[in-house]
């Protein structure tokens, strides 16, 4: 898995590509390379985009390119603020590409790696995603007939949140729709089992309600921060999707709101006729929940949360874009050939059915790459950050390993203005109590405060667990995930003490 640190990625591979300049490669896979690109126009016009460059060997296969054209044709018809825009499908010097909207933000999966958002914020994000899906489901041709679009791969990695708080659904690359050039081969599964509706796995008739089921899984996991169906192997995951028990959120989190629980469980009915029949119905239910629990949650509210939780990433990406902008612009050296279905349909007759089946199998793996298209790499572990030595009183206290996604600030010598830091902490088990310098604070904790000298003692305690203390550097803050160890039970006469174990059932275990 690629590193979460942008500075650990290879340096930008700047080169001209038609009317685009490829500035930085931030993802690479078996199907395509994903570049940060810049479109240069006259009078200093520039636009940053994400460009999916298909590998040359796959670009020579007409059936694979048909799938690429399907994706671009389909998504380019959807005009909605909660769906990622596709700008262009083309070919330069024999290399096919898709140019897309660059969303400067993170995926829902990345957000859950760091914090469990407030439930009204969860409802806002999922309601906006539902609005985008409904727009896709309602896509119609000029004859007024539905295209019957189904995303088929709704998951935390394909729902993006910008740092300004906008939610966007991405990657319609495996969607089915009326009039598609490339139909999925019979018996070939596409998507992620742990986010797939039962009727898809069972190869029954599939419609928009399958996306409602998948979005219900995302809603469940955002609200509880616990994986719902994911198992150690695909066979067990499929069994759980088809017949496994679904623990109501209230059994995992005390005082979980009943109305939100009812919405979640309604999405997860295995019989499609028992679910919300449209994504819009789900959206309206979540809007009512938000209204009844404190009023509106605006994109700006989501943006403030993102700015706090991802302060370090925002600075990294800002630095990267600044470096790219310093490269300056160049005139395009090669025109782009815009592709249509007629560009290659005549060549399909040269491929045998057997080769088509092989190519279809290869193409299905494009999903793993497409999930990375519009965000810089958000997975992997960060490098540890050195801390100041603990005071003598704290020398013997056990320390939690910091997540090390630190809100970086300028050196103290350069601080001529007030500098703010972020302190983000989550502790399992969920019942754990937190204190910061002796003052009770929330668990999980998302705190933004002015930078100061020295350290603060963050103490996590829970009955039946060994307490842990972390020294929080007040000059830079940080992000920590603390997992308390169960306290060893006293050994009875003639018994050996049982070894300590981790609480693997906590709802705050890192599920991603």
Catalytic machinery residues: 153
Residue positions counted in the chain: 512
Please answer whether residues 198 and 269 qualify as being in contact, where contact means their C-beta atoms are separated by less than 8 angstroms: no
Phi, psi of 346 (to 5 degrees): -70, -20
Distance of CA 172 to the CA centre of its chain: 15
Q: What are phi and psi of 481, to 5 degrees?
A: -115, 115
CA distances from 119 to 251, 256, 292 (A): 16, 9, 12
Q: Are 104 and 319 in contact (CB under 8 A)?
A: no
Task: Decide: 26 and 13 in contact? Cβ < 8 Å.
Answer: no
Please state, in angstroms and rounded to a whole number, the distance separating the CA atoms of residues 121 and 130. 14
Largest CA distance in the chain: 85
Q: Give the span between the Cα atoms of 65 and 146, in whole angstroms.
A: 24
Q: In terms of DSSP bridges, do strands 478-483 and 420-428 run parallel, antiparallel, or are they unpaired?
A: parallel
d(CA 110, CA 290): 23
Distance CA(104)–CA(168), nearest Å, equals: 11
DSSP calls for 250-275: GGTSTT--HHHHHHHHHHT-SSGGGS
* Helices and strands in the chain: count of H runs, count of E runs: 13, 17
Three-state DSSP class for 59? helix
Q: How many CA atoms, within 13 angstroms, populate the side-chain half-sphere of residue 79?
A: 2
Residue 181 backbone dihedrals phi, psi, to 5 degrees: -75, -35
419 phi, psi to nearest 5 deg: -110, 135
Name, in order, each residue with C-beta under 8 angstroms of 461's C-beta and a sequence gap of 6 or more: 432, 433, 435, 467
9 forms bridges with which residues in the sheet? none
Bridging pattern class, strands 445-450 and 420-428: antiparallel
- CA of 93: how far to CAs of 17, 330, 338, 470, in Å? 9, 18, 12, 55
Buried b (16+ CB within 10 A) or exposed e, 346-364: eeeeeeeeeebeebbebbb
Q: Residue 98's closest CA among 181, 31, 161?
A: 31
């Amino acid at each position: 898995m690629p590193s979460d640190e942008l500075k650990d990625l290879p340096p930008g591979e700047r080169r001209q590509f038609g009317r685009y300049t490829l500035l930085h490669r931030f993802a690479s896979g078996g199907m395509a390379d994903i570049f940060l690109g810049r479109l240069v126009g006259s009078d200093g016009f520039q636009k940053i985009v994400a460009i999916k460059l298909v590998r040359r060997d796959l670009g020579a296969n007409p059936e694979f390119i048909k799938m690429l054209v399907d994706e671009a044709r389909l998504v380019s018809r959807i005009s909605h603020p909660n769906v990622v825009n596709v700008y262009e499908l083309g070919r330069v010097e024999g290399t096919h590409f898709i140019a897309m909207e660059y969303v400067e933000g993170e995926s829902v999966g990345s957000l859950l790696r760091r914090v469990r958002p407030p439930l009204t914020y969860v409802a806002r994000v999922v309601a906006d995603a539902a609005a985008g899906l409904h727009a896709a489901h309602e896509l119609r041709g000029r004859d007024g007939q539905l295209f019957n679009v189904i995303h088929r791969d709704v998951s935390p990695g394909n729902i993006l949140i910008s740092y300004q708080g906008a939610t966007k659904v991405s990657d319609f690359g495996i969607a089915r729709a009326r009039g598609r050039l490339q139909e999925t081969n019979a018996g070939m599964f596409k998507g992620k089992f742990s986010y797939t509706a039962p009727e898809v796995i069972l190869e029954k008739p599939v419609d928009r309600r399958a996306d409602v089921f998948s979005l219900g899984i995302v809603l469940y996991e955002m609200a509880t921060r616990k994986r719902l169906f994911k198992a150690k192997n695909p066979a067990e995951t499929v069994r759980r999707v088809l017949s496994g028990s679904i623990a109501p959120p209230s059994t995992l989190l005390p005082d979980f709101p009943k109305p939100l629980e009812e919405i979640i469980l309604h999405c997860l009915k295995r019989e499609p006729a028992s679910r919300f029949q449209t994504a819009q119905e789900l959206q309206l239910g979540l809007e009512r929940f938000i209204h009844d629990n404190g009023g509106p949650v605006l994109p700006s509210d989501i943006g403030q949360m993102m700015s706090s939780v991802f302060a370090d990433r925002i600075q990294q990406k800002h630095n990267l874009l600044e470096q790219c902008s310093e490269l300056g612009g160049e005139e395009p050296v090669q025109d782009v050939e815009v592709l249509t279905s007629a560009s290659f349909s005549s060549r399909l007759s040269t491929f045998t059915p057997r080769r088509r089946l092989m190519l279809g199998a290869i193409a299905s793996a494009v999903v793993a790459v497409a999930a990375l298209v519009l965000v810089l790499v958000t997975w992997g572990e960060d490098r540890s950050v050195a801390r100041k030595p603990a005071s003598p009183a704290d020398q013997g206290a056990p320390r939690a390993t910091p997540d090390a996604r630190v809100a970086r600030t300028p050196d103290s010598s350069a601080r001529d203005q007030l500098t703010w830091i972020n302190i983000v902490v989550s502790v399992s088990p969920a019942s754990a109590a937190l204190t910061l310098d002796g003052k009770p604070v929330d668990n999980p904790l998302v705190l933004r405060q002015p930078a100061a000298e020295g350290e603060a003692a963050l103490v996590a305690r829970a009955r039946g667990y060994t307490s842990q203390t972390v020294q929080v550097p007040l000059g830079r803050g940080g992000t920590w995930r603390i997992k308390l160890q169960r306290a060893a039970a006293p050994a009875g006469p003639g018994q050996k003490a049982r070894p300590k174990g981790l609480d693997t059932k906590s709802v705050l275990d890192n599920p991603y």
